[in-house]
């Protein structure tokens, strides 16, 4: 009986220990459960925050995609403008080259005209000199004509007088 009592006592102690361990384990389980609940709530809050952030980022991504498409269109438009400006620039360079050639030709033509003008001025000056000389000769010729006319008039008059005198002399004789 002693044995039984001892067995019961041992069993009782064992059960008490087990109960104590179970209570302890139960408390540990509750603590772990509370900790895990708290952790789950934190993770759920973090997940909700991240989901909200993902929604925001998705929205921003759509806006960025739209902006990128608009920018791509603008870049294409600008590239076309640049190509057109390059063509315009080439045309302007060709016009500039043509204008330079025309300018050089004009300079040559102007130089020739200046030379021709100088030659004409020289011819005009020479012509003026010749005209002045001709005028002087004309004046001399006019003076000589007057003198010749006066001489002839005098000679005629003298000849008339001589003829009259001769006639008178003949009549007198």
Whole-structure pTM over 0.85, yes or no? no
The H-assigned helical ranges of the chain are: 2-172
Q: 106-146, pLDDT tens digit by residue?
A: 999 999 999 999 999 999 999 999 999 999 999 988 888 88
Average pLDDT, the chain: 87
Domain segments of the chain as ranges = 11-128
C-alpha angle 134-138-144 in degrees, rounded to nearest 5: 140
Q: Is 4 exposed, middle or buried (0-12, 13-18, 19+ CB in 10 A)?
A: exposed
Give dist(CA 9, CA 16) in Å, integer.
10
Give dist(CA 173, CA 168) in Å, integer.
8
Q: Would you state the structure tokens that stand for residue 112, as one six-digit string?
A: 């020739």
- Cα dihedral 158, 159, 163, 165, rounded to 10, equals 20
| CA-closest candidate to residue 121, choices 132, 109, 113, 133 | 113
Q: 73-106, pLDDT tens digit by residue?
A: 999 999 999 999 999 999 999 999 999 999 999 9
Give dist(CA 77, CA 74) in Å, integer.
5
pLDDT at position 169, please?
Answer: 66
C-alpha radius of gyration, the chain, whole number: 70
Given a cut of 70, whether residue 173 has pLDDT beyond it is no
């Amino acid at each position: 009986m002693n044995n039984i009592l001892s067995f019961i006592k041992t069993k009782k102690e064992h059960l008490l220990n087990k109960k104590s361990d179970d209570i302890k384990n139960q408390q540990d389980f509750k603590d772990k459960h509370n900790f895990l609940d708290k952790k789950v709530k934190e993770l759920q809050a973090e997940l909700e925050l991240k989901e909200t952030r993902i929604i925001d980022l998705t929205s921003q991504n759509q806006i960025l995609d739209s902006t990128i498409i608009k920018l791509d269109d603008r870049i294409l438009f600008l590239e076309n403008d640049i190509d057109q400006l390059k063509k315009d620039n080439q045309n302007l360079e060709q016009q500039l080259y043509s204008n330079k050639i025309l300018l050089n030709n004009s300079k040559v033509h102007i130089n020739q005209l200046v030379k021709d003008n100088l030659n004409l001025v020289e011819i005009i000056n020479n012509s003026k000199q010749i005209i002045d000389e001709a005028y002087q000769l004309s004046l001399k010729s006019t003076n000589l004509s007057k003198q010749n006319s006066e001489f002839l008039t005098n000679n005629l008059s003298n000849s008339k007088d001589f003829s009259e005198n001769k006639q008178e002399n003949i009549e007198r004789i």
